[in-house]
A and B are shown apart, each in its own frame.
Chain A
Amino acid sequence: MTIAPPEQAARKYDLGFARWVRGNVVNGEKMSLCMQCGMCSGSCPIGTEMDHGPRKLFMMIRAGMKDEVFNSTTIWNCTSCYNCTVRCPRGIPVTSIIQDLAAKAVEMGYAKDAQNARFAKAFWWSAVKFGRTDERLVTTKYYYSGGLVDFFKKGLGNLKIAMGMVKTKRMHIGMPHKIKDTKGLRAILAKAAEIDARESKGGAQ
């Protein structure tokens, strides 16, 4: 099944959405096992930072509330602590489903302005390029992704923290550190992408 572009979701409630999640989202077929007990939402340490808990998110999928699911902060604020997955009495890999929903949201053009999406992109860029995350580069790239005004606002706002980190040698100045074998890392990532393309249902991350 292919991914429908967002503009096709004309209705607020789309009965086909649950079926789409089943067919396209990693572990999406397990979503129907949910018995709405709320263990996931009760266990979530970051639940207060989500507009809908995982339980409600699953119910929204069933009700076909596609836009609200993809625009929810739930999929972005998940910290992947796996509490929900470990505790789910029905054995549903909640974290995995939420993560892939986030990936699908990016692919489908939702979440253009989501801070977490922008940060994740900056993080991934650094990790791929250097095999490490360089605080200066990640933050710079992340701040800049929000536009020039946001860049200065955030950059200046955090200047004091940055200076403190430099002083205590928590952040170094100079060339970014690199891992020894970047070539090997790329090969690993390429292989991972290959496996993902082969085994996952929709597009790769």
Chain B
Amino acid sequence: MSDRKPGVYICKGCGIGEAVDTGALEALASGDLKVPVCRQHDFLCGADGVATIEKDIAAGAVNQPIIAACSQRVMTDQFNFDGAQTVRANLREWVAWAMPAGEEDTQMAAADQVRMGVAQAGKMDVPEARVEEGLSTRIMVVGGGSTGLNAALEAAATGHDVLLVEKTGKLGGWGAQWSKRMPHRPPYRDPQDNNVSSLIKAVQGNSAITVMTDTTVAETDGMPGRFSVKLANGAGEKQEAVGAIVVATGWRPYDATKLGHLGYGASPDVVTGVELEGMLANGGVKRKSDGAAPKTVAFALCAGSRDPEHLPYCSSVCCGASIKQALQIVEADPEAMVYIIFQELRTPGTAEEFYRQAQEAGVIFMKGKVKSVGADLTVTVDDALLGQEVPMEGLDMVVLATGMVPNATDPDKPAAEDGAEQLANDIDPVAPIARAGAAEIATPAWGEAAPEGGPILNLQYRQGPHLPMLADGFADSHFICFPYETRRTGIYTCGPVRRPMDMAESAEDAAGAVLKAVQSIRSAQAGMSVHPRVGDLSFPKFGLDICTRCRRCTVECPFGAIDENEDGWPVLNASRCRRCGTCMGACPVRTISFDNYNVQMVSEMIGAVEIPDEFSEKYRILILACENDAAPALDMAGINRHSLNAEVRLIPVRCLGSVSMLWISDAFQRGYDGAMLMGCRSGDDYQCHFVKGSGIAQERMANIGQTLQSLMLEEGRAKAVEVSIADSAKVGKMIDEFVEEIRGFGMNPFKGF
């Protein structure tokens, strides 16, 4: 911004006027800070207050209103002005509501908030959107099973053209092979008719959907709005342009031949649930050995699931599917006796009705773990309720309810050579995500956790061909906040490839992923960020004149947004970027910046704080708080009137990943006594909105210790902590404890230099 015209507007409402001397703040802004327009108002977010600001903007006196009032998270509509860039200084939640009214320390904290706001405005520019023309709005759905069919129909219903790619010769996937499905409509009592055939018909009859069977994805390149996919079928390869990709590749059953201890292979009458389903769909259940209908059947649930030797997780649908199959057997032959041996019967929600229906139909449920199944079909149950082993003899058939393995890889493709060409070694698809204080994470190495096979999409990204996976081999998913997101922007997963689920759940999941895909296309068209900084127009800019081609930005970007060209220079794929700033925090020469968020801006804010001299006995501690979880928790601490230490100075950051270590060393050189990073939980069950940002920050902080030592400062003066958004009652105490630790070290000897 060539011509910055800041104006400071101080609100006296909501208790700010009683807690601090707003007159002194105005005098500070217009005096020392030399801001030409400074005003106080009793009720700034009211119509009159807003009109005051609008009048100044209309008169051309102000184009950067600095709102010294409430948190940046509230009143965003009121303080959103056309043709002006709003800066917020939080006097309410972080000062007036959290610190004792009228005290000198409170006034100093408020004054520093105003100073930081003015400093921030001085380094901010209005971002200009990178709008691109001619983007594709077509959505490619990979996988033609029940989830993919639903996704295709949902996408077509939103008005988008759809490209449905199916590897096999026909649509329907596993779902088409089921005789019936679990109930998904009231009264949730009986197995219901399978609707996959009608889904197939609807897809085939929809002119917006192009179905390509016998086709796989050979290569995927590009970014939201501009994906370029190479599709391969027997006839050859074909290049297609799509705007977003929905991956609905589903699941495959766990390999039952690994379940020798459960009798699979020892007797032909030990079958898997999938095999039984085939019998039910094709003329009824018959023993493979003699073709007779079984009279006594036992279902062994969790066969190879929740078992560290096999699948460590619960596949969630086997309980319901086994109940369905048991009911079908009893319905066909009321004399048949069916036993279901379960460890924990997982029938959430309406499935409880289904469970009861089976009990009423006479299916016997036994709680225990199947220890072994003999070749003579003797099932030995470790009965949990009797506390003893029960041998079940005289069974006609044993059904193993095997679990789901996600098709996060294509089992028919050779496993990609890890690291070849794409430098994939830099980011392992199942790489453990660092966690504070836990160097060792029990995450299996690549190849152990990931299902066997090659990449589904074969991404031509610098970060490798795979969609990143979590520890169990399911496609990455921020399970709390953004379930459909992968770490590759514009590519959304749904259905059992992201977590085990049944047909009803995956239909809902398909709708969710499609809406995300639509959002990513629209955002790409407008040059905006997708979640979680939806609507952000800024993007990282690289100062190539001083770039050293160190590749740290390309390696650390959690979303594969930055590629390298042949000469090793970073190249931004703008619509893949989610604007977290992890690249900015990574850059050792600080040449990556956003128009409205950059290293210099935060440095200036840190420097704007007035550091009392060493005789004042007043400490100053810098807290860089992630604006996704930590800053809201601090806001809520203020709302709940928990006290915040008046010696800390809080600066919200986009993500801890964006924190440049320069800020920390800057702070100590300027005389701060301590510095703390507050961010989200890292690790495999991460809560970081940008997946790896907080983990990366933890790693970087491990190195800051050396920097501090070289400054002859104690390592403990800087630390990173993890908080969740629910920790509002705790954050104040965490800060107090940190301040106590710092007091233990004494004041920073650099004060006054």
Please, how many angstroms separate the alpha-carbon atoms of A105 and B411 in the complex?
58
- Beyond A13-B391, A62-B366, list 15 extra A-B contacts (CB 8 Å): A15-B296, A15-B393, A15-B394, A19-B337, A22-B362, A29-B362, A32-B359, A32-B360, A32-B361, A34-B359, A56-B385, A56-B386, A62-B364, A63-B383, A63-B390
Asked if A18 and B385 sit within 8 Å, CB to CB, the answer is no
1/0 per position for A58-69, CB-CB distance to B under 8 A? Answer: 011011110000
1/0 per position for B653-688, CB-CB distance to A under 8 A? Answer: 000000000000000000000000000000000000
Closest CB in chain B relative to A13 CB, distance in Å? 6
Within 8 A of A (CB), among B350-391: 356, 359-367, 381, 383, 385-386, 390-391
Closest CB in chain A relative to B306 CB, distance in Å? 20
Residues of B within 8 Å of A56, CB to CB, are: 385-386
Q: Which of B383, B385, B392, B395 has the most CB of A within 10 A?
A: B385
Please, how many angstroms separate the alpha-carbon atoms of A9 and B200 in the complex?
54
In the complex, A11 has a CB within 8 A of chain B: yes
Q: Which of A19, A29, A55 has the most CB of B within 10 A?
A: A19
Residue of B nearest to A33 (CB): B359
In the complex, A176 has a CB within 8 A of chain B: no
Please, how many angstroms separate the alpha-carbon atoms of A119 and B319 in the complex?
47
Total chain A interface residues with beta-carbon distance under 8 A: 22
In the complex, A48 has a CB within 8 A of chain B: no
In the complex, A146 has a CB within 8 A of chain B: no
Partner of A63, one of B359, B362, B366, B395: B366
Closest CB in chain B relative to A56 CB, distance in Å? 7
Please, how many angstroms separate the alpha-carbon atoms of A60 and B367 in the complex?
12
Closest CB in chain B relative to A42 CB, distance in Å? 14
Please, how many angstroms separate the alpha-carbon atoms of A55 and B384 in the complex?
13
Please, how many angstroms separate the alpha-carbon atoms of A36 and B368 in the complex?
12
Asked if A18 and B364 sit within 8 Å, CB to CB, the answer is yes
Please, how many angstroms separate the alpha-carbon atoms of A13 and B136 in the complex?
67
In the complex, A16 has a CB within 8 A of chain B: yes
Closest CB in chain B relative to A34 CB, distance in Å? 8
Closest CB in chain B relative to A39 CB, distance in Å? 14
Residues of B within 8 Å of A35, CB to CB, are: 359, 365
Residues of A within 8 Å of B356, CB to CB, are: 33
Asked if B386 and A59 sit within 8 Å, CB to CB, the answer is yes
- Contact A36 B367, CB 8 Å, known A29-B362, A59-B383, A63-B383: yes
Closest CB in chain B relative to A68 CB, distance in Å? 10
Residue of B nearest to A52 (CB): B386
Please, how many angstroms separate the alpha-carbon atoms of A65 and B392 in the complex?
11
Partner of B393, one of A11, A18, A22: A11
**B residues touching A (Cβ–Cβ < 8 Å)?**
296, 337, 339, 356, 359-367, 381, 383, 385-386, 390-395
Partner of B337, one of A11, A18, A29, A34: A18
Within 8 A of B (CB), among A11-62: 11, 13, 15-16, 18-19, 22, 29, 32-36, 55-56, 59-60, 62
Please, how many angstroms separate the alpha-carbon atoms of A60 and B360 in the complex?
19
List, sorted by A's number, 16 A–B pairs whose CB atoms are closer than 8 Å: A15-B392, A15-B393, A15-B394, A15-B395, A18-B337, A19-B337, A32-B362, A32-B364, A36-B367, A36-B385, A59-B366, A59-B386, A62-B339, A63-B366, A63-B381, A65-B390
Closest CB in chain A relative to B482 CB, distance in Å? 37
Residue of B nearest to A11 (CB): B393
Residues of A within 8 Å of B393, CB to CB, are: 11, 13, 15
Asked if A60 and B362 sit within 8 Å, CB to CB, the answer is no
Q: Which of A29, A32, A65 has the most CB of B within 10 A?
A: A32
Asked if B392 and A59 sit within 8 Å, CB to CB, the answer is no
Closest CB in chain A relative to B529 CB, distance in Å? 50
Residue of B nearest to A34 (CB): B359
Asked if A60 and B386 sit within 8 Å, CB to CB, the answer is yes
Please, how many angstroms separate the alpha-carbon atoms of A55 and B392 in the complex?
20
Please, how many angstroms separate the alpha-carbon atoms of A133 and B371 in the complex?
54
- Contact A33 B383, CB 8 Å, known A16-B394, A19-B337, A63-B390: no
Partner of A13, one of B364, B385, B390: B390
Please, how many angstroms separate the alpha-carbon atoms of A132 and B259 in the complex?
65
Please, how many angstroms separate the alpha-carbon atoms of A59 and B383 in the complex?
9
Within 8 A of B (CB), among A121-138: none
Please, how many angstroms separate the alpha-carbon atoms of A62 and B339 in the complex?
9
Closest CB in chain A relative to B121 CB, distance in Å? 64
Residue of A nearest to B356 (CB): A33
Asked if A15 and B385 sit within 8 Å, CB to CB, the answer is no
Please, how many angstroms separate the alpha-carbon atoms of A80 and B361 in the complex?
28
Closest CB in chain A relative to B431 CB, distance in Å? 43
Residues of B within 8 Å of A32, CB to CB, are: 359-365
Residues of A within 8 Å of B339, CB to CB, are: 15, 62
Give the top 10 A-B pairs by smallest Cβ distance, nearest first.
A63-B390, A59-B385, A33-B359, A19-B337, A32-B359, A62-B364, A32-B362, A15-B394, A18-B364, A59-B386
Residues of B within 8 Å of A15, CB to CB, are: 296, 337, 339, 392-395
Please, how many angstroms separate the alpha-carbon atoms of A182 and B392 in the complex?
52
Residues of A within 8 Å of B337, CB to CB, are: 15-16, 18-19
Residues of A within 8 Å of B364, CB to CB, are: 18, 32, 62
Q: Which of A11, A15, A16 has the most CB of B within 10 A?
A: A15
Residues of A within 8 Å of B359, CB to CB, are: 32-35, 90
Residues of A within 8 Å of B385, CB to CB, are: 36, 55-56, 59
Closest CB in chain B relative to A153 CB, distance in Å? 37
Please, how many angstroms separate the alpha-carbon atoms of A64 and B385 in the complex?
14
Asked if A33 and B386 sit within 8 Å, CB to CB, the answer is no
Closest CB in chain B relative to A92 CB, distance in Å? 10
Please, how many angstroms separate the alpha-carbon atoms of A62 and B381 in the complex?
12
Within 8 A of B (CB), among A98-152: none
Closest CB in chain B relative to A15 CB, distance in Å? 5
Please, how many angstroms separate the alpha-carbon atoms of A62 and B364 in the complex?
7
Please, how many angstroms separate the alpha-carbon atoms of A90 and B296 in the complex?
25
Closest CB in chain A relative to B339 CB, distance in Å? 8
Closest CB in chain B relative to A99 CB, distance in Å? 21
Residues of A within 8 Å of B367, CB to CB, are: 36
Please, how many angstroms separate the alpha-carbon atoms of A33 and B356 in the complex?
7
Residue of B nearest to A63 (CB): B390
Residue of B nearest to A55 (CB): B385
Asked if A63 and B360 sit within 8 Å, CB to CB, the answer is no
Residue of B nearest to A61 (CB): B364
Please, how many angstroms separate the alpha-carbon atoms of A32 and B359 in the complex?
5
Q: Which of B296, B356, B364 has the most CB of A within 10 A?
A: B364
Closest CB in chain B relative to A88 CB, distance in Å? 13
Please, how many angstroms separate the alpha-carbon atoms of A192 and B359 in the complex?
31
Please, how many angstroms separate the alpha-carbon atoms of A138 and B29 in the complex?
105
Residues of A within 8 Å of B395, CB to CB, are: 15
Residue of A nearest to B298 (CB): A15
Residues of B within 8 Å of A13, CB to CB, are: 390-393
Asked if A63 and B363 sit within 8 Å, CB to CB, the answer is no
Asked if A63 and B394 sit within 8 Å, CB to CB, the answer is no
Closest CB in chain B relative to A186 CB, distance in Å? 39
Please, how many angstroms separate the alpha-carbon atoms of A18 and B367 in the complex?
15
Please, how many angstroms separate the alpha-carbon atoms of A65 and B385 in the complex?
14
Closest CB in chain B relative to A201 CB, distance in Å? 14
Residue of A nearest to B387 (CB): A56
Please, how many angstroms separate the alpha-carbon atoms of A117 and B641 in the complex?
72
Closest CB in chain B relative to A5 CB, distance in Å? 19
Residues of B within 8 Å of A62, CB to CB, are: 339, 364-366
Residues of A within 8 Å of B362, CB to CB, are: 22, 29, 32
Closest CB in chain B relative to A193 CB, distance in Å? 29
Asked if A63 and B386 sit within 8 Å, CB to CB, the answer is yes
Closest CB in chain A relative to B327 CB, distance in Å? 13
Please, how many angstroms separate the alpha-carbon atoms of A19 and B383 in the complex?
19
